[in-house]
Every structure is written in structure tokens, then in C-alpha cells.
Amino acid sequence: MKSLLCHIALLVLLICSPFDAEATPPPVNLSDFLKEIDALRIQARIPGLSVAVVKDQQLLVAAGLGYTNLEQKILAAADTPYDIASVTKPISGVAAMQLVDAKQIDLDRPIAEYSDWRGFCEAFSQQPSIFAKDLSCEPATHTLRHLLTHTATQQPGTNFSYNPVLFSWASRPIMAVVEQSFSELVVQNVFTPTQMHQSARTHRERPLPQAMQRRLPSYYSLDNDGNAVLAAPGSPQGDGAAGGVHSTVVDLAKFDIALDRGELLSADARQVMFSPTPLKNGTLAPYGIGWFIEDYQDHLLAWHSGWWENRSSSLYIKVLDQDVSLIMLANSEGIWWHNALDKAEVARSAFAQVFFATFLSTE
């Protein structure tokens, strides 16, 4: 335990300094925060995770806890790359809103005018998937906004229900507009300008760089006795908007900082992205463009979780009015807290509660 805590402390020191060498000591006890996160990691039987906190557009802390490989006793690190699952959606949301900023795409234009939505919709609506339930293909008025805000089922714009399949398909009209792959677009417009050099897009026709493959964690599920066992390999995916990113908490911190500094989007685009979506009945869906939107004790949260069943999990929370963010990536599903498909309830996460208790102002 002592050596592990020393490893954590060293990572905090080495990772934080390049971002802000002149930073003053934070008004919180970072050691206690990491101990609480580690206690929850152990309780959730997560072999290893990485965590970062960004405050006032500076990386406050980044650390690895536990092991990325139990068999070889390889320690988790702040620069360990994970499959971030649905935490990809905020990145995809930014990529889409950049095209809106550039007036290359219209969120409210029927996507059938961009790509073959009807063929996909009719085929998918016949599938037994829970995400195909209540998908109505007529009239063909679905827009990119409907896909990116999870308001595409039933009659478009009338109902919120989290739907990663339809969100993933949003990459198709985007690719039709830019005439390049979605992965290339994200790398060009998000990863490169933010210097996210430890991040990569991947899909069935785009393997990860070998250097990153060698650094990936082992992923674990729990057997019937609650013991960690190696997880089955993940199934191959297409070039969709819902997932397909491997990254580190340090690189995601770079993304967070660039977003808050206005380096990726205009203020108007950020406002749209971080606003709950109006439904036709006058209520608000708890989702913007690629982000859950939630009020918590008079604070405005934008967040996303990631979950790959029996394999990995992740969490990214921005407290918009406090300019503080939490980023967590894990090599099991232990971060996940069974969030409902029609609600935003990150406050139910034990990890989120530790973050709130440590970093949110009570004034």
C-alpha cells in the first residue's frame, strides 16, 4: 500500500506540473480525495482506474489507482489509455457543433437530405433491440439534433430516451457533408488542435496504433464470487459517433481546458451544447448536444458516463458554474451506477458524490 501511495503521489507531481508550474496550492486536500476515490474503487472491485480533476482551466490532479493488469501487477497511471466508451459523445458533440459554427451543417435540416436515413430507419426499427422500440420512420422528419439529443424515438422531438445506436448513426450525415471519415474529422478538428497525442479513434477498419495497443489495460469482469477475471474481447464497431475513442485522463483534461477556453467552439455553440433540449410538449429533455444536463444543489452539471458491459466504464462531469471537472476511466464496469435511459441522475454515483463534497463551493 505504501508503495502504491508513493506511486500516486509521484504521478500527481509529474503530471500536474507541465500544465501550470506556477500554480498555488489548492484549497482542498487532494490526498484525501484520492484516498476516498481509491476506497470506492476497492469497494466496487475495480482493478484499476485513472482520475483527473480540472479546476479553473488548469489540471489540478491526475493519478492512477490500482492495477491495469492484475496478473503482471502493472500499476494504473495518469497516462494509461482506456476505451472511454460513451464519454466519446461529448467529443462527437463538439465535432458536430464545429460544423454548425462553420455553417457546414444544419442541426434542424432533415437528415434524409444528407444520407440514407430511411433505409437505415426502416431496417433498424424491425430489430428486437430495446433501442429500436418506438422508432417511427414516418414522416421522415428526423434531424441531426434529434439524433444528438436522444429525442428521435416516437415522433421526433416529443420524447427523451437515451439511444446510443441512433446517436452513433449521426456520424453518417456528418461524413456526407465533410466528405471524409468521422474518425479523420475528430482527429483533425479535436485531437490535433488540443494536442491530444495519447488519444485515437478506432473501429473495425481502423486499428489502434501499435504503440497504444501495447499500453492498453487488461479489462475485467466479475465472476459469480465477485472475483475479477479477464473480460471477453469487445465486439468490433463501425465509424460511429457514440464510441470508438481510446484516451487518457490527461488528454481528456486537455480537451476540457480547450473547450472552456473557447478554443474549440464559439460561445453560441457552447451555449447550445450545454442547454437542455426543448420538447414539443414544452418540457426540457435532460440532454444537450452530446451531454447530459442536470441541476444539482443549485449547480449546473454537464456530464457523460461510459459503460461497456462486463468490461469498462468511465465518467466525465463538468460543473459549469464552478469551472471544475472530474474525469475517470476504469478497466471494469465498476464506475457505472445503472443510470436510467430516460433520466439524468449522476448524483446517484458514489464517485460523483465524493467529487461534489470535495470541490463544490457551498456558498
Positive or negative torsion for Cα 338, 340, 341, 346 = negative
Phi and psi for 147 in degrees, rounded to 5? -70, -45
State the pLDDT at residue 138.
83
Pick the range with the lowest mean pLDDT from 52-56, 137-141, 236-240, 281-285: 137-141
State the pLDDT at residue 139.
77
Task: Assign 269 a pLDDT band (cuts: 50, 70, 90).
Answer: very high
Return the closest-CA partner of residue 9 out of 28, 26, 31.
Answer: 31
The per-residue pLDDT of the chain, averaged, comes to 93
The pLDDT tens digits for 188-245 are 999 999 999 999 999 999 999 999 999 999 999 999 999 999 998 888 899 999 999 9
Report whether 259 contacts 94 (CB < 8 A). yes
State the pLDDT at residue 32.
97
- Whether residue 13 is predicted with pLDDT greater than 60 in this model: the reply is no
The pLDDT tens digits for 312-363 are 999 999 999 999 999 999 999 999 998 888 999 999 999 999 999 999 976 5
State the pLDDT at residue 363.
58
- Whether residue 27 is predicted with pLDDT greater than 80 in this model: the reply is no
Percent of the residues in the chain that have a pLDDT greater than 70, as a whole number: 92
Contact partners, residue 59, CB within 8 Å, separation at least 6 = 15, 16, 19, 20, 52, 53, 250, 253, 257
State the pLDDT at residue 191.
99
State the pLDDT at residue 361.
76
State the pLDDT at residue 3.
41
State the pLDDT at residue 24.
44
- Whether residue 12 is predicted with pLDDT greater than 70 in this model: the reply is no
Distance CA 152, CA 131 (A): 11
State the pLDDT at residue 25.
42
Percent of the residues in the chain that have a pLDDT greater than 90, as a whole number: 87
In which element (H, E) is residue 145 found? helix 144-148
